[in-house]
A and B are shown apart, each in its own frame.
Chain A
Amino acid sequence: MPMDQEQLTTMPPVLEFDGKRASFVKVLIVNGILTILSLGIYRFWAKTKVRRFFWSNVRFLDDPLEYTGTGGELFVGFLIVIAILFPLGLIYSAIGSLVPPDATELRVGLEVAYYLVIFALLQIGFYRMWRYRMSRTTWRGVRFGLDGSTWTYLKLASGWTLLSAITLGFAYPWMQIDLWRYQIRHTRIGSEVFKFKGNAKDLMWPWVTVYIPMICIAGAGIGIMLSFESYADNEMPTMIAGKEAFVEVMGTLIGISLLAFFIAFFVYQVRQTRYQISGVKLGIASFTSMLPIGRLFIFAALSFLLMGAVILLPFMMYLGPDFDLGFFPYADAPEPATFSKTIAPILFMFISVVFIFPLIWSVLFKFEVIKQMVITTSIENAEVLEQAAQSASETPRTGEGLADALDIGGF
């Protein structure tokens, strides 16, 4: 049925975002205070409140999404994971203390095994987290869901990570797109399964802009390392004579490349997200994202500037140039260390890192990312989603567990 122009202009936008920063700040401040007072236990309920805020402020075809998860579910899921991870960790520590300190190969092997296990847990945790979130998301009473196998996802992620390592990172976009494809192809609303059409080739050139500075950093780093000699224990390596100019050039190269890398990676990340959203289909409905690079970059830069100001200004104004961290005031301090010079700065840094930094980052940057992701996404033939029928699939009973224990997932 072709739509005439008049009908098109009176149609409401497909996706809208109603969230206000002011109400988000209120949610975060109350969460922060309760989390600190409860020694961290409240964070499950805090996360739930943040998700409710975002979900309920996204309207699709005029009706908001609903988040039906509870803090209690997250807490129980977390306790279950702790009950499994803690004994495992103890066993690892016990093995670690039984290996003699001078058995270098055994120690390296143990370390490698540790990171492999953490890697696997991160992948499993991520997939299970997505499954939980989908199962607790509803639109017009119809639940989202995630099928697929966590193990298959883990195998896929391991294979791609290995390939990325072998290609010195060149295969990264292919890994990202392939994992996303698996994730989206097993995501459904009711019983309607999403699809993804895309090819990482389209992300190759954006990735090359990240890859070149990355290779420069590695190359220059190796160059500098080769300009030094003597790597004996407890001895500072000394520069080989005549290499000073070379090392200086390489150092500058690293500095420039690092800056280029961070900017290029940010731009790449936005482009990749745009590409990932734009390939999503559901029946004849297809998504398009116009996620703005410049705007998000400005918000990220503003957040960092503000964090820098928060940490630097009080030190410069209040403590003056003779500021002394004073963790161990007895070391060379004949006069007794005062509260303002010892405890206060540590407390201030602690509060900044635990409370103020995440607040700035969430309110300025994360909020903007979510808002922009919603309002710059358009869906052609969105009405198809109205036909989604409730699915009778089982939903997980407890929360994300692993994702909470490993602190992944953003919010």
Chain B
Amino acid sequence: MPNTASFNDGKTAARHSVGIKVEALSLVISDDAGHVIARWPLGDIRYADATRRMPPIRLRCDGNDARLNLASDDDGAWLITKCPNISKRDAGQIKWPTWVAAGIFAIASVAGIFVFFLPAIASTVVNLIPYAMEQKLGLQSRDQLIGLAGHLNKNDKSLVCTSPNAQEILDKRAKELATVMDSPFPITVTVLRVPITNALALPGGQVIILSGLLDQAKSGDEVIGVLAHEIAHVVRRDPMQVSIKQTGAALLVSLLIGDVFGGAALSGIASSVIESGYSRDAEAASDFLGVMALNQLGLTARPLADFMGRISQNDPVSDFIPDFLNTHPAGDDRRDAINALSQENGRAMSGYEWKTLKSMCEKQG
């Protein structure tokens, strides 16, 4: 008996004192009386715990519950050099290329859910939502938005720009555009005193224009062009689809992060970044629908094209707006497409009306 060790036979937790020796490519384990208890092929011997490599060394045989414990002063070096697969996984276990493939597949399917599945779900589910409910939702999200903007603008309590004359100009054109586009919703235009060049459509016919857009616009035609584009989104129910997508994405992210309670806020942010704004197709379709409506009303869409081109050029403020708030990443392509579609030359408002509109958000006194 060259060495002493202890052995657990895998049937009970008893500890047997054994002797071990290597014989013809096998480790022979025998009890104190010299009877052979087990014969382990050297190629099948593994560390029982791969992370623990200091004495006492514990070994096992591939697929077997039995354990061999070398005495605590034996580092097992004499034996381990003879076992070629000591650190390998058991035969029949899944190998790492399979895991890599499974991992890539898992990531691809999660990406697939975001890119294909959620939009598909959203465009189906949106048809199930009654118009009346979308209108109520829109009203709620408008109030929330005003509340949020109000928090950011603490010094300025009169956030909603109220100028009856200017509002009348906007409402008149909004009504015409909605009628031409067969909008299922009456359009409510709200102008907010927020210095960002942007406008957005909310579910249920709510359109928000931020005062930064009035500041940047050079004519009333530009503003009405943007309005037409946003009303097109409303008619297509794009905002509703986005909020459905965001709900799904938030759910998925919170499941993936593995937290249904604390991670809710985090997943909310993450999902609105992932499912940000409209797809390029939705933007192009809304450009088309908007310009067609302007044509029908005899109004020119070229100022809209100019405006798109202008604001897409490095706006210092918009650099800091997260992409998901900036729904108009306009490019030269869109400008050219709008120009090509525009057929009429009518102006949306007189010079006096434009002055009224432009000064809508200037503080009185």
Partner-B contacts on A (CB < 8 A):
40-41, 43, 49, 52-53, 56, 61, 63-64, 66-67, 72, 75, 78-79, 82, 85-86, 89-90, 93-94, 97-98, 100-102, 118, 138-143, 189-190, 328-332, 336-337, 342, 385-390, 404-407
Q: How does the 8 Å CB contact mask read for B237-273 relative to A, with 1 for contact and 0 for none?
A: 0000000100110011001111111000000000000
- CA–CA, A329 and B319, complex, Å: 11
Determine how close the nearest CB of chain B comes to the CB of A76; give it in whole angstroms: 8
Query: CB-CB < 8 A to A404: which residues of B?
Result: 258
Which of A43, A101, A387 sits near B258, CB closer than 8 Å?
A43
Q: Contact between B244 and A101 (Cβ–Cβ < 8 Å)?
A: no
Q: Contact between A389 and B155 (Cβ–Cβ < 8 Å)?
A: no
Q: Contact between B107 and A386 (Cβ–Cβ < 8 Å)?
A: no
- CA–CA, A407 and B52, complex, Å: 28
Which of B65, B94, B140, B252 sits near A142, CB closer than 8 Å?
B65
CB-contacts of B190-229 with A (<8 A):
194-196
- CA–CA, A406 and B102, complex, Å: 23
Where chain A touches its partner, the secondary structure class is mixed
Tell whether B66 is near chain A: CB-to-CB under 8 Å: yes
CB-contacts of B128-145 with A (<8 A):
128-129, 133, 136-137, 140
14 A-B contact pairs sorted by A residue (CB < 8 Å): A52-B51, A56-B49, A64-B58, A90-B121, A140-B8, A140-B15, A141-B65, A142-B8, A190-B12, A330-B194, A332-B155, A386-B15, A390-B10, A406-B258
Determine how close the nearest CB of chain B comes to the CB of A44; give it in whole angstroms: 10
- Contacts A64-B58, A140-B15, A330-B195: A40 and B257 contacting too (C-beta < 8 A)? yes
Determine how close the nearest CB of chain B comes to the CB of A78; give it in whole angstroms: 8
- CA–CA, A387 and B107, complex, Å: 47
Q: Contact between B152 and A331 (Cβ–Cβ < 8 Å)?
A: yes
Q: Contact between A337 and B320 (Cβ–Cβ < 8 Å)?
A: yes
Query: CB-CB < 8 A to A138: which residues of B?
Result: 65
Which of B102, B255, B317 sits near A89, CB closer than 8 Å?
B255
Q: Contact between B251 and A387 (Cβ–Cβ < 8 Å)?
A: no
CB-contacts of B102-119 with A (<8 A):
102-103, 106-107
- CA–CA, A212 and B14, complex, Å: 50
Query: CB-CB < 8 A to B140: which residues of A?
Result: 101
Partner-A contacts on B (CB < 8 A):
8-15, 48-49, 51-52, 58, 60, 65-67, 69, 94, 99, 102-103, 106-107, 121, 125, 128-129, 133, 136-137, 140, 152-155, 194-196, 244, 247-248, 251-252, 255-261, 316-317, 320-321
- CA–CA, A64 and B255, complex, Å: 35
Which of A56, A72, A93, A139 sits near B52, CB closer than 8 Å?
A56
Q: Contact between B107 and A41 (Cβ–Cβ < 8 Å)?
A: yes
Which of B48, B106, B251 sits near A66, CB closer than 8 Å?
B48
Determine how close the nearest CB of chain B comes to the CB of A20; give it in whole angstroms: 12
Query: CB-CB < 8 A to A90: which residues of B?
Result: 121, 248, 251
Q: Contact between A407 and B258 (Cβ–Cβ < 8 Å)?
A: yes
Which of A40, A102, A118, A386 sits near B12, CB closer than 8 Å?
A386
Q: Contact between B255 and A331 (Cβ–Cβ < 8 Å)?
A: no
- Contacts A41-B107, A330-B196, A386-B12: A141 and B66 contacting too (C-beta < 8 A)? yes
